[in-house]
Amino acid sequence: MKVRKRFSKIFGDSFIYPSEKNNQSISKITEYIHVSVDKNVEKVKGYLGYSTDLEHRVFHIGKSEKVKAVLFFMDGLADKNQVQDFILESLMLEGNGIHQNCLVDDVKNYLVTIGETKTVTGLGEVIKSILVGDCAIIIEGTQTAIITGTKGWKDRGVQEPSSQTVVRGPKDGFSETLRTNTALIRRKIKDPNLWCETLQIGTVTKTDVAIMYVNGIVNEKIVREVRARLQRIEIDGIFESGQIEELIEDSTYSPFPTIYNSERPDSIAGGLLEGRVAILVDGTPFALLVPALFIEFFQSSEDYYMRSDASTVLRFLRYFAFFLALIVPSSYVAVTTFHQEMLPTQLLISLASQREGVPFPAIVEVLLMEITFEILREAGVRMPRAVGSAISIVGALVLGQAAVEAGIVSSAMVIVVSLTAISSFVFPAFNMAISIRILRFGFVLLAANFGLMGIILGLIMMVIHLCSLRSFGIPYLSPMAPFYLADQEDAIFRFPQWGLFSRPSLINKENMIREKTTKPKPPNENSE
């Protein structure tokens, strides 16, 4: 800012800084295409700052005709093979006999052999198309450009999801390309009612964001709310769906996630069939699903690929791990500090002997070990993959053993922290595990000051907060609060496939029936 003021004093307020030359948004370019090819070349290159990755080719259409034209595309975004084989070769070698009165129509309808073509008249639309990987053709003497779909940038391809692994189920996952992700969902749902809307967010990045839903199943009010929230976003750039999530979520300051994210196409497709809306962002493999309920973060897509009894047991295990990860450290602090009479005599003597040489109270032990483990976990994530897991495992073992031998912490505290850490890895949704990691420290502080009464007070406050949350107007704790008996078939329990006959009541009000399969009858023993 001081440099800017200094330049203003020397050159006056009319001085143009280098970063401000041609610094205008594409949407503000209202200039039309010029009849001269040379003028268009200068204008397009000027608006793009004479960038070296902008490719343009001035040529003549046909061998005998002297019709001048120019072709623009961005190197690295457009497929050069398509530009060469289906545009340049067709126009330069087979462009004879075109009519001077209908140049654009002849080129578009007879010469360009690419399926995706359209015509535009503004330079802003030409530049916008070039920046997304398309090719622009401008013919001398016309004020219309032909835009052809030649997108051909490199992508990672379809690979197995890294954050949501399953033993049984599909192994394909989303990639960073938007059209690849929408195609993966359409492979799961081959229905004409699967609708897709695309809009651009970001005044600079122009990131494509797609909204997908199944017409006739989705609640139209939710679709309008999602569309309105996305259209209200005004930001320079969007690079990941997490930015969209933070900008459209109902409760920004809640530790619990109110928008579900996944990189599994089958998980997103299953949500669409329940009446939800999917939000896919170009450049990230994580898709968003709204509205989201609390119980969904404890459900895995693998639950629907195995027997119902096994799925129900695993769900109970996840809920049990939720409470272990949340209150085990705080319960240890409360019992050892205030409520020693609750422990059996032998266990109390054992804990007392272990803590005999420990100079810190239980609250300091817990905070010291929890913070150390969080540092090790973050270090394991940020370090190179080849050594990250080894460092986290070896570091935890070495530090834990060394801390016990040095008398800084007790052996029971190492067991408590280890059990808490293992329980936090049980959840299928990683963002729910982060929420528990945050709340765990609050419960420890409450237990250190008020004992078990503090833990109970924290649980009451947490339940009240969960009851107050909404996800796009839907109660976060439904179908538990408010309680819907019909929706219990896929809440904590998972009924057999023939029992999952209705969609969630609060999310969908119209098309409720999703299955008409009845319970299979056992074979008649008397029949031959």
pLDDT in tens, 285-298: 999 999 999 999 99
Bridge partner residues of 75 (DSSP): 78
Q: How many domains does the chain have?
A: 3
Pairing of strands 260-262, 194-201: unpaired
**In this structure, is residue 167 part of a structural domain?**
no
One domain, residues 216 and 248: yes
Amino acid making up residue 463: V
pLDDT below 70 — which residues of the chain?
Answer: 1-27, 64-65, 95-101, 385-397, 509, 515-528
Quote the CA–CA distance of 53 and 32 in Å, as a whole number: 24
Query: Contact 408/368 with Cβ under 8 angstroms?
Result: yes
pLDDT digits (tens, 9 = 90+) for 237-281: 899 999 999 999 988 889 999 999 999 999 999 999 988 999 999
Based on the fold, state whether residues 265 and 318 are members of the same structural domain.
no
Q: Is residue 76, in this structure, part of any structural domain at all?
A: yes
User: Do 136 and 29 fall into the same domain?
Assistant: yes
Predicted pLDDT at 162: 80
525 found inside a domain = no
Tell me the two tokens of residue 268: 């997103």
Domain boundary among 148, 163, 198: 148
In-domain check, residue 186: yes
Whole-number Å distance between alpha carbons of 215 and 210: 15
Please indicate, yes or no, whether residues 275 and 313 belong to a single structural domain of this protein: no
d(CA 370, CA 358): 17
Residues 201 and 143 in one domain: no
Q: Roughly how many angstroms between the first and final C-alpha of the chain, as a whole number? A: 92
Considering the domain boundaries, does residue 208 fall inside one?
Answer: yes
Same domain, 244 and 388: no
3-state secondary structure of 33: coil
Does residue 139 sit in the same domain as residue 196? no
Its domain, for residue 273, covers: 178-292
The pLDDT, as a whole number, for residue 520 is 66
Residues 470 and 324 in one domain: yes
Same domain, 324 and 455: yes
Does one domain contain both 464 and 332? yes
Beta pairing, strands 470-471 & 474-475: antiparallel
Report if residue 155 sits inside a domain. Answer: no
**Among 428, 458, 475, where does a domain finish?**
475
Same domain? 111 vs 211:
no
Which of 475, 499, 517 terminates a domain? The answer is 475
**467 and 415 co-located in one domain:** yes
